[in-house]
Amino acid sequence: MKRTASAVWQGDLKSGKGTVSTESAVLSQAQYSFGTRFENGKGTNPEELIAAAHAGCFTMALSGQLGSAGLVADKLETTATLTFEKLEAGWTVTQIHLAVKGKVPKADRAAWEKATAAAKAGCPKLKIPSASKAKKYFQNKMAFTTGPVELERWFKQGEPVNIVDVRAAEDYSEGHIPGALNLPKNQWDNAKVVKARLHKNKINVLYCYSHVCHLAASAAVLYASKGYPVMELEGGWRWWQSDGFEIEK
């Protein structure tokens, strides 16, 4: 199942204006702007729409959970309060608080609490990571990944990096990053080959075919467990090529 929505923006950030529309046409060119998002201007904003979706999803899920217990609500009403804060990393959704009330004949407190807990757990809502988890994730990402521009700079500056291509041998022979050594998957368990390709006194930057290839990440897990310093090249060979950097054959 796929649902679509669209947005149009005209002008600069602060004085420009935009509209959002949904495939169902319930929203049709609804206005939003810098003022409606960060001030109190007239119109909608992305965070308000996220809150509405969250409330709608939860309330429908709660109705389903009550129904499974043989209960039918006369009315359910949910308010979703989204907190949008400016942190060190920028504007971030840090919390969505749900407040729900309902009129459900024959329901006792235990049945109500069980149904609301199940609805909260089961609703396919947008997962909002905490700011602290996001910070930790991006710190780790920067520590263990690099991009083509940074890798080329390291290489030219003579930094202690060892570039390792984990693609198949035939693909490596057709073109690879200058100075890269080939360590295809069928050689990962060959201790002699691994010792010749990887170094424990350098950062081993591993890459595979593209951003959707997991060979480099899999190799990184394997060799990190064996004591090798490793990083992954984001985008792999595809991004290196598309950025127009030198290749070697």
- Interval 194-228: pLDDT, tens: 999 999 999 999 999 998 899 999 999 999 999 99
Buried-exposed string 119-147: b where 16+ CB fall within 10 A, e elsewhere: beeebebeebeebeeeeeeeeeeeeebbe
Which CATH number applies to 5-129: 1.10.10.10, 3.30.300.20, 3.40.50.10880, 3.40.50.980? 3.30.300.20
pLDDT at 33 over 80: yes
pLDDT-derived band of residue 92, with 50, 70 and 90 as boundaries? Answer: confident
What pLDDT shows up at residue 135? 80
pLDDT-derived band of residue 189, with 50, 70 and 90 as boundaries? Answer: very high
| Bridge pairing between strands 5-10 and 17-22 | antiparallel
Do domains 5-129 and 138-242 share one topology? The answer is: no
Tally of CB atoms within 10 A around 110: 8
- Interval 150-175: pLDDT, tens: 999 998 898 999 999 999 999 999 99
pLDDT-derived band of residue 70, with 50, 70 and 90 as boundaries? Answer: very high
User: Average model confidence (pLDDT) for the chain?
Assistant: 90
- Coil, helix or strand at residue 175: coil
pTM of the predicted model as reported, rounded to 2 decimal places: 0.53
- Coil, helix or strand at residue 181: strand
pLDDT at 89 over 80: no
**For the chain, domain boundaries:** 5-129, 138-242
Angle between helix 46-68 and 109-122 (nearest 10): 130
pLDDT-derived band of residue 178, with 50, 70 and 90 as boundaries? Answer: very high
Burial class (CB in 10 A: 0-12, 13-18, 19+), 111: middle
What pLDDT shows up at residue 63? 94
- Among 95-99, 135-139, 244-248, the range scoring the smallest mean pLDDT is 135-139
- Interval 40-68: pLDDT, tens: 788 899 999 999 998 999 999 999 999 99
So what's the architecture of 138-242 in CATH? Answer: 3-Layer(aba) Sandwich (3.40)
